[in-house]
Amino acid sequence: MYGCAAPALRLRRLQPALPRLQRSARSTLASRRHTAYTAAQLARAPVAAPQFQHHARRLISGGSPAPQPGQPDPTEAGPDDSDRQKKSHSGQAHGANDYRETAFKMFESAMTTFASVAVLGFVGYSYTRYYKHMVLAKMDNAFNPGDPVLDLARGRPPRREEAEDGSWIVREEQAKFDSIMRGEDKGRYHLLIGEKGTGKTSMLIEAMSKIDGDGVAMFEAHADPEIFRIRLGKALDFEFHEDNIGSLFSIRGPRDASALLDVERAFNKLEKVAIRRRDKLGRPLILVINSVHLIRDDDEGKDLLELLQQRAEQWAAASLVTVILNSDDYWVYERLKQYATRMEVTPVRDLDKQKALSALKHYRWKWHGETPNDQLLETIYDKIGGRLSFLSRVAKSRDMISLCDKICEAEKTWFLNQCWVLGMEMDDDVMDQQKYASAAMVLAKALVDQEREMDETYDPEKGHILPQIPLHKAREIMTRADFIQSYDHINVFTIDSKAMVRADSVPMQRAFREICSQPGFDKFLEKTLERIGDIESLGRTRELTIKDLWEGGKYKVTTRNAKGYVEKETTFETLPGLKDVDDDDDN
């Protein structure tokens, strides 16, 4: 009875611990399943759900404690040595697979990067070659027939048949520049120098029109190098790499430089185009730079002019490009003369009498359909001379004599506004300006005096013979060497290619004559010069004044010997001078 009741008694005792044992078993089973699933993932092998193996449990005696949740069951058997070895070999194989996979990914990334860089480099190289080709093609196209200068020229440019009919005045220099534009006269570069309005630019445009601008580029100079650069680029159809798309990739472009470097780059491209053209056509290109006198006479302007001359000398020697410089002022010639070896100077002056009368007659017929008589033409020429700009204005006017008088009056007013003197009463603050003005008046008076001494001032065939003075002599007369360049720039005096100074035009010489013939002018000019000298003397003189001597005061100086006896007495006092006596008499 007691033997059969013992198991039942044990079951009854274990019944309170059964839920706890079941929870422990489920926790152990879940932990084993998670470990098996993780190992299967690492080995990239399908993992079968581990089956729970039921191990025979020994019956817990009354003295054995029950297993706690989360603790291994002491009744279960642990992994043996064979399982540990299998797991070790599986981990080593998995590590080798990881190394191979990492190396493959690195190689794949490197090849992708290399391919991307190679494609980008090929595209960039191709675009650069294409861009350089297009730059040269555009510049070559700029020298094809047709030029914007011809389109902008006022009216229809005169043709050869018009010149033969007499409606256009052909200068003696026209044939020479026609030959230059055709590329027949090469191996030199040219400087045109002459007064404003003598027809230099019109002559060049006429020569361009005869060949329709084929192989010719022309642009206007400017005092600002940046504007000079832009105008040069427009004439050559060169954008200075400003249209390059490299800036989209934050690549520093070649435009990050000065205007002078841009001009040098443009000339480098022009040289390549000129070489191709010379090999293809056998004649040089023509580059005309108009109004070179507008370049400032400072360090930057001199550098620009030096760059132009260096290129002109080099291209003339190789017959690549013939450069033509057009200037109104003499200082450009002085600057270029220093390094000139292949430069040819062409002076352009007013028309002589016969050509001026013929031009005026044909201008009048063209604009009004009438032919003036010879006496009227002679009167007009006597007033304004052979300046083409004046002749054209007069021919368009209804009252030609009245316009001639207005032109002469305008020249006189311009000279007086720029160079009139102020006399003895001038303020010392304007001394610098009066030095400039008085020097011009002294030179104008010297020209008028020389005109009076000339044997002949008017030739029946050639017309006016203006008095002229050598440049060094003019500087001696003015006692200043730096003013004459400014006078030339404001068109009061002019200096020709032979360094002779004269009035800028016939109306200006008439203005000199009228001003210097005014009553009292010589004395007024002399007082101005005296006042300038006094102001300069005051600036160089220091005056010492003893105030005690004013109002009849005296100084008494006594000299004593070593014993104290008086040896000599000296008294200082003021005495009225001659000027003071004259002032008292006037009062």
Q: What is the pLDDT of residues 561-570, one digit of tens each?
A: 877 787 888 8
User: How would DSSP label each residue in 50-84?
Assistant: PPPPPPPPPPPPTTSPPPPTTSPPTTSPPP-HHHH
Work out the widest C-alpha separation in the chain, in whole angstroms.
Answer: 179
Q: What predicted TM-score, i.e. pTM, was given to this entire model?
A: 0.72
Using CA atoms, how far apart are residues 199 and 197, in angstroms rounded to an integer?
6
Q: Decide: 288 and 204 in contact? Cβ < 8 Å.
A: yes
**pLDDT at residue 50, rounded to an integer:** 47
What residue has token string 């390094």?
A: 339
Q: What is the mean pLDDT of residues 208-235?
A: 92
Selection from 475, 497, 470, 477 nearest residue 486 by Cα: 475
Contacts of 162 (CB under 8 A, 6+ apart): 168
Sign of CA dihedral 394, 398, 400, 402: negative
The CA distances from residue 396 to 165, 231, 357, 364, 399, in Å, are: 20, 33, 15, 7, 9
> Model confidence over 269-294: pLDDT tens digits?
999 999 999 999 889 999 999 999 99
pLDDT(478) > 50: yes
Question: What are the structural domains, with CATH classification, of the chain?
Answer: 142-348 (3.40.50.300), 358-540 (no CATH), 547-586 (no CATH)
Between 232 and 540, residue with greater pLDDT: 232
Using CA atoms, how far apart are residues 440 and 469, in angstroms rounded to an integer?
14
Exposure string of 355-383, with b = 16+ CB inside 10 Å and e = fewer, is bbbebbbbbbeeeeeeebeeeebeebbeb
Average pLDDT of every residue of the chain:
82
Q: What is the mean pLDDT of residues 540-557?
A: 72
Query: 3-state DSSP call for residue 13?
Result: helix
Using CA atoms, how far apart are residues 280 and 284, in angstroms rounded to an integer?
10
64 falls in which pLDDT band (50, 70, 90)?
A: very low
Q: What are phi and psi of 19, to 5 degrees?
A: -60, -35
Query: 3-state DSSP call for residue 172?
Result: coil
**pLDDT at residue 244, rounded to an integer:** 72
10 falls in which pLDDT band (50, 70, 90)?
A: low
Q: What is the mean pLDDT of residues 456-467?
A: 88
Between 4 and 578, residue with greater pLDDT: 578
**DSSP run (H or E) holding 389:** helix 388-396
The CA distances from residue 471 to 481, 495, 497, in Å, are: 9, 8, 11
Please, what is the Cα angle at 162 between 156 and 168, to 5 degrees? 80
Using CA atoms, how far apart are residues 162 and 29, in angstroms rounded to an integer?
118
